[in-house]
Amino acid sequence: MLQQGELYLDGQLRLVVATQARALSFAGTFTGIATASAGASLGYLERVGQAPLVWAGVAVAVFMLIGALCCLHAAVVRSQLALPGGEPERLQRAAAQMSVLDFLRWQAENYQLGLDRNDRTITRYVRWLRIGAYTGALAPAVGAVAWLYLSPQVWLYLNRLGC
């Protein structure tokens, strides 16, 4: 039973590390796309001067940066994770004060408390990662909607259709 608790804790830690790595990867990708989008938008504004496409690029950059910040938060937020095993000195003191059965029960309860705390932490990491990933994924659609909304050509076309 105790070995299973240690294995589960170890699996949780591996999951946290993988989640943080994925979050950092998304944050870096979204930041790069945001930088490229903002740079291209400003270059286009300077050269052509059409505002709808510029604002669309800025909208994409802003949503990508928000997604990157959410992913970054998922990767670097500090929390106390329960680790497998135990401190030998603490275990010796507890074992000296309890019967073997009470000691095993105490150890199992400690593992369960750690598993529960880790589950809450993992849920929080994944929630921020999911928010960031969805925000970044929606950025191109937001840019397209901004361009459609701000573009006079679209409004003229819709007017001709009678909409």
Residue pLDDT, tens place only, 105-115: 888 888 889 88
pLDDT tens track for 46-61: 887 778 888 999 999 9
What per-residue confidence (pLDDT) applies to 144?
A: 93
Read off the pLDDT of residues 10-64 as tens digits, 9 standing for 90 and up: 888 888 889 899 999 999 999 999 999 999 998 888 887 778 888 999 999 999 9
Give the model's pLDDT for residue 163: 66
- The mean per-residue pLDDT over the stretch 89-98 comes to 81
Q: Read out DSSP for the chain?
A: -HHHHHHHHHHHHHHHHHHHHHHHHHHHHHHHHHHHHHHHHHHHHHHT--HHHHHHHHHHHHHHHHHHHHHHHHHH-------SS--HHHHHHHHHHS-HHHHHHHHHHHHHHHHHHHHHHHHHHHHHHHHHHHHHHHHHHHHHHHHHHH-HHHHHHHHHHT-
Q: Look at residue 16 in the predicted model and tell me its pLDDT.
A: 86
Looking at per-residue confidence, does 124 or 68 come out higher?
Answer: 68
Dist. CA 148–CA 78, nearest whole Å: 41
User: Is 128 a residue whose pLDDT tops 90?
Assistant: yes
pLDDT value of residue 134: 97
pLDDT: which is higher, 142 or 121:
142
